[in-house]
Amino acid sequence: MNAVIGGLAALLYLLAGGWLAARLARAGAGAPGSKGGPLALGWGAALLHASLAQALIDQTLRVRAEHGEFTVGLAGGVFQNRVLSELVLARLAHHGFAARLGARLPANDAAIAYGQVIEAAYGQ
């Protein structure tokens, strides 16, 4: 289990700049079988969601700095996760981004395929 937690912490470090991942690794994330780490399993999940959301925000800020203002479209199965979707939408709004989450298309691969068709049709 420690190898799994260590691998997860390394991935989070790469995605989110490190401070959440370091905290998760130090605390043992409340993983099954861990002995009294200060974080409960719920905190580990919260840290994971916050890390992924922040990684997305960091990326959108970098793209905006390089290319200017744009509207962010959120699609893909990961946005079926309500917690992650709400975190990302709130943080995007905080940073002044207009963001869209599909209402007529499912938040999974079907929406991605539809987006690829639209891009192919109008991107040329």
Q: Residue 101: name the closest of 61, 64, 56 by CA.
A: 56
Specify the pLDDT at position 5: 40
Q: pLDDT, tens digit, for every residue of 21-77? A: 555 555 554 554 555 555 555 777 888 889 999 999 999 999 999 999 999 988 778
Please state, in angstroms and rounded to a whole number, the distance separating the CA atoms of residues 113 and 77.
12
Mean pLDDT of the chain: 75
pTM, two decimal places: 0.61
Residue found under tokens 């999940």: 45
75, two tokens? 């699609």
> What is the rounded CA–CA span in Å between residue 81 and residue 31?
21
